[in-house]
Amino acid sequence: MLVIDGCFLVELLLKHNDGSLTFPGIDIYKLNHDLMLIENQMPFSVLKLIYQNTDLVEQDQRFRLFDLAINYLHNGEKSIDGVYKEVGNVDHLLHLLYMCRLNRVQLKNAPLRMKPWLYRLLYILIATLFLVIFFTNRYYREEPIHDLWKKILLLSTPSLIIIIILRESGMMFYLWKGISFLFVGIFYLIVIWVEAGTKYTAKSVKTNCPLIHGLTQTPTVTEITYSGINWSGIGHTVTYKMFFKSNKMHAGLMLINDNSFSEFENLLFYEQIYFLPRLSENEENDALYISTYVVYMRNMVKTESDVFFLRKHGVLKSTSSFMEDKEITSFFCKQRPWLVLTKLNQKNIRSQFRSLEKFCSSGHRKRKAKLRKDYFVSTLVIFAFLGFIIVTALTVIQTVYAVRQAN
């Protein structure tokens, strides 16, 4: 039976590579679902042995079984010309899918990538050089500039260069944070003045976090969004990864289709049953990507509103019209008492949860979330407030101008 199933799977990979994957009376999506079940996995070494003894019509175009499997798991989106380094200790097809989802399949002769901080340093040096050249050229020449477009260029160029320097050096974040703090503070004073007699007391932040498997004090996705925390996408290469770092939520893109939940559960089973016992004590903190992802989603997704904001932030993308938000919410809220995490992983997640809760529970963030949730609920309110600011600014300018004219 093992040989028959192995022959069928090898034939499936070959037909998929040729583009002639048709089986009369068989649903391909259900077939893919069954192939990824953990109880249906077949040793990859057996598949390689069957493939080596398979007679092909064109022997000179024989691809590696590893490349055929990679091409199948990525639905033909990856190249088949052997650009990936073959992993020697692949257990089965589900194990290979696990490595693909976590971007652990490396390219051959991959070019060295410059680190992000080197890019930032290079941008700052170039922008500073242009700024020095600009001012040197501007103040050490005698002929004046009369053309309007040249004056506009002279005024805009230093501003753009300074913005680039601030952005790449990381100072733009603190500048924008200060402006946001001032804006929210002024507006909240207006709200307090209008709602006289109403006092706000923020709840104290608990320093101890409960066990990861239970309910924690972690803010939900909706609360995080209203608090103004930015979401940074990791991309579709690392699907099941989520963490909080540098006051930002980082997450990959998960495609929701008819087989997504089954694939996710089986990858989680594999990580818990096969991958976890192989971890050494000096393993990286985020080695258990899928288990960490489950813990995050379990504590941060409570309602359908959380799923809506995850879609808005590019964390979830539904490709199936039959998948409703209620079903997605129920899946991520599912109790998994059998989930096991290493001590290092628990410490890392607990630290991130505390940082996230402390960040969202600060007075400024609480007030900002309250304003966005209770007041800026529609576009009409935003436009009305902007109109109020514009009218007030014009009134102040008119008053100052009238006083100066009188003097």
Domain co-membership, 233 together with 326: yes
pLDDT of 295 over the 60 cut:
yes
In a domain, 334, yes or no: yes
Domain co-membership, 331 together with 403: no
pLDDT of 287 over the 50 cut:
yes
In a domain, 286, yes or no: yes
The two tokens of residue 238 are 């690392």
The pLDDT of residue 152 is 56
Domain co-membership, 388 together with 296: no
Domain co-membership, 233 together with 350: yes
Domain co-membership, 272 together with 346: yes
Q: Which of the given ranges, 119-128, 206-215, 258-267, has the highest pLDDT on average? A: 258-267
The pLDDT of residue 209 is 35
Where in the sequence is the domain holding 282, given as residue range(s)?
229-357
More confident residue, 89 or 297: 297
Domain co-membership, 312 together with 393: no
Domain co-membership, 323 together with 264: yes
In a domain, 46, yes or no: yes
pLDDT of 204 over the 50 cut:
no
100 — pLDDT class (breaks 50, 70, 90): confident
In a domain, 165, yes or no: no
More confident residue, 60 or 332: 332
Please say which residue of 70, 101, 132 terminates a domain: 101
In a domain, 122, yes or no: no
For the segment 227-269, what is each residue's pLDDT rounded down to a tens digit? Answer: 888 888 776 667 888 888 877 888 888 888 888 888 899 999 8
Residues of the chain above pLDDT 90, percent: 3
More confident residue, 145 or 181: 181
64 — pLDDT class (breaks 50, 70, 90): confident
pLDDT of 75 over the 80 cut:
no
Please say which residue of 75, 101, 127 terminates a domain: 101
The pLDDT of residue 331 is 92
Task: Please tell me what DSSP assigns to residue 236.
Answer: S
Q: Long-range contacts of range 85-94, CB-CB < 8 Å, 24 or more positions apart? A: 90/44, 90/66, 91/41, 91/43, 91/44, 91/274, 92/41, 92/42, 92/43, 92/44, 93/9, 93/35, 93/36, 93/41, 93/42, 93/44, 93/69, 94/36, 94/38, 94/41, 94/266, 94/267, 94/270
The pLDDT of residue 198 is 40
In a domain, 132, yes or no: no
Structural Rg of the chain based on CA atoms: 29
For the segment 304-329, what is each residue's pLDDT rounded down to a tens digit? Answer: 989 998 998 888 988 876 778 889 99
More confident residue, 190 or 298: 298
Name the domain count of the chain.
3
In a domain, 54, yes or no: yes
The answer to whether the beta carbons of residues 56 and 229 sit under 8 Å apart is: no
Q: Long-range contacts of range 85-90, CB-CB < 8 Å, 24 or more positions apart? A: 90/44, 90/66
The answer to whether the beta carbons of residues 17 and 68 sit under 8 Å apart is: yes
The pLDDT of residue 399 is 85
Domain co-membership, 349 together with 265: yes
Domain co-membership, 352 together with 233: yes
Domain co-membership, 406 together with 343: no
In a domain, 260, yes or no: yes
pTM: 0.64
Domain co-membership, 324 together with 406: no
H-type alpha helices, 204-271 = 221-227, 260-270
